[in-house]
Structure 1
Amino acid sequence: MAATTPITSAIFGATGLVGAHIVTSLLTLDTYGTVHTITRRAPQQSSDAALAKKLDAIVEPDTQQWVPKLNELFTGADSQTAPTTVFSALGTTRLAAGGIANQWKIDHDLNVEIARAAKAAGVKTFIFVSSTGTRSLFSRYLPYSKMKNGVEDTIKELGFDQAIIVQPGLILGDREVEHQGAGLFKALAKATGSVSQGLHDSLAQDAEVIARAAAHATLLASQGKAPSKYWIVGPQAIIKLGRDEWKF
């Protein structure tokens, strides 16, 4: 299932729960070449020297400089490693950001800026880790849903050769700072697992599985196997691509 040439990529949100797993997934797959990350702090380094060599970790505490840093990847001396693919698992919480206005600047505005810069630079494939259920009758009016939907709509309008929108349910995994109410939701998800694995999978997915699904979907897209130019990967597809069919 190897692509003709290694896929070069850039990842935003690489120190977050899903983003960190995306980095690990891409580094361990031979079909992916150089992996650029642009983060406030350095991502976790691989203990494998060969894998660590594939990682180009760009640390920039000022998020306003992230788009310029992305642009530099296309104009630098080593343009052969310029990313053809950009992943964004970038997001924060209202509490961590200090209010909804600040959260909007990260979850919506910065993601939109990244997508637009990627398109302008000639990136072929853009992958955005969003959320499921944001377009239901009532939830679409909530600030969180408006942020996610706004980014998704922008990505679709930009017309990438391939756009992949990963829409997980509740994301399971150990965060450095847990979201408000996460403990209760995780307990409920665990309870559903004891009743029905299918119900559990539809409600919640492990961060590692979500990341693998993003990597797997991108690999399939590079082989011309994506079902559509604008591919929405929901909970069922996440489980299929990131767990059941993950054979790498």
Structure 2
Amino acid sequence: MTSPAAVIGSTGLVGHQILATLLSLDACKTVHTISRRAPKTEPSAKLNATIEADTTKWASQFAALSPAPTAVYSALGTTRIQAGGIQNQWKIDHDLNVELAKAAHAAGAQTFIFVSSAGTRGLLGNFAPYSKMKIGVEDTIESLGFKQAIILRPGFLMGDREVAHTGGAFLGSVFRGMKTYLGQGAQDKFAQEDQVVARAAVKATLLAAEGKAPSKYWILEQSDIVRLGRDEWNA
């Protein structure tokens, strides 16, 4: 993958791992980020970081990225508590992601990779605000007609968060207990490590570049994420 890439949400749990994974690949020569603060990663000549505190300006930044990214990863997201309410969360998780997907398409990106969430298309998906946010973004990405779209739907995300989620520590201990007492497979049905999700996103992009994506709009459920991000990861 010699084409330039861009990562949105590069300071978050999964986005940070996507960025680190891309920077570690010899074949990836340039990685752009757009974020409110500098990504916490090892210094790299490959990294072109744009720091912009005003998120309303992020979409316009795509036109200025050089070389223009052909693959754009979005792991952008927040929580209702961090955002200060469901309306503010919607502005980030839905509105900003939609705006960025449209900007990436307009800037010529060929592949768009979005980290969504498991259960968004479940029985109650159309009623739960969080699921409705993800559905809206997924549908927008599909409608834009990227040459390749990749949607990841991980379960509970395991990893070290800068800001703890409500109940996150408890759930993390539950899923780690599953692994300890019932085996890795039990945990895999409900939760995935942040690095595994990131590697699955990158692995899927590499496969798509080789013409091995099963469809133009490729959805990776939890089992697919585990397979690509851990079991078959060899990059």
TM over 0.5: yes
| 1:84 lines up with 2:67 in the alignment | no
CA–CA distance in structure 2, aligned partners of residues 106 and 184 of structure 1:
26
| 1:173 lines up with 2:159 in the alignment | yes
Q: Amino acid of the residue matched to residue 224 of structure 2?
A: A
The alpha-carbon deviation at position 155 of structure 1 amounts to 0.3
Q: Amino acid of the residue matched to residue 9 of structure 1?
A: A
Where 2:76 maps in the other structure, the secondary structure is: coil
| 1:215 lines up with 2:202 in the alignment | yes
Q: Amino acid of the residue matched to residue 102 of structure 2?
A: R
| 1:22 lines up with 2:34 in the alignment | no
The alpha-carbon deviation at position 92 of structure 1 amounts to 0.4
Counterpart residue number, 2:61? 69
Where 2:73 maps in the other structure, the secondary structure is: strand
CA–CA distance in structure 2, aligned partners of residues 64 and 71 of structure 1:
14
Question: If each structure's helix is expressed as a fraction of its own residues, which one has the higher value?
Answer: 1
The alpha-carbon deviation at position 196 of structure 1 amounts to 3.1
Which runs of 5 or more residues in structure 1 are unaligned?
74-78
CA–CA distance in structure 1, aligned partners of residues 68 and 107 of structure 2:
10
The alpha-carbon deviation at position 70 of structure 1 amounts to 1.4
The alpha-carbon deviation at position 147 of structure 1 amounts to 0.2
Q: How many residues align?
A: 234
CA–CA distance in structure 2, aligned partners of residues 102 and 191 of structure 1:
34
Where 1:32 maps in the other structure, the secondary structure is: coil
Counterpart residue number, 1:12? 8
| 1:41 lines up with 2:28 in the alignment | no
The alpha-carbon deviation at position 165 of structure 1 amounts to 0.2
Counterpart residue number, 1:235? 222
Report the TM-score, using the length of structure 1 for normalisation: 0.92
C-alpha RMSD of the superposition:
1.0
Q: For each residue in 1:38-65, what CA deviation from the matched residue of structure 2 results, as whole angstroms up to 9, or x when unmatched?
A: 0000002315xxxx00000110010011
CA–CA distance in structure 1, aligned partners of residues 187 and 129 of structure 2:
26
The alpha-carbon deviation at position 139 of structure 1 amounts to 3.5
**Which of 127, 132, 141 is 2:118 aligned to?**
132
CA–CA distance in structure 2, aligned partners of residues 88 and 138 of structure 1:
24
Which runs of 5 or more residues in structure 2 are unaligned?
none
The alpha-carbon deviation at position 140 of structure 1 amounts to 3.1
Mapped contact 2:4–2:30 kept (Cα < 8 A): yes
Where 2:30 maps in the other structure, the secondary structure is: strand
**Which of 91, 94, 113 is 1:105 aligned to?**
91
State the identity as a percent: 57
The alpha-carbon deviation at position 191 of structure 1 amounts to 2.0
Q: Amino acid of the residue matched to residue 99 of structure 2?
A: E
Q: Amino acid of the residue matched to residue 7 of structure 2?
A: I
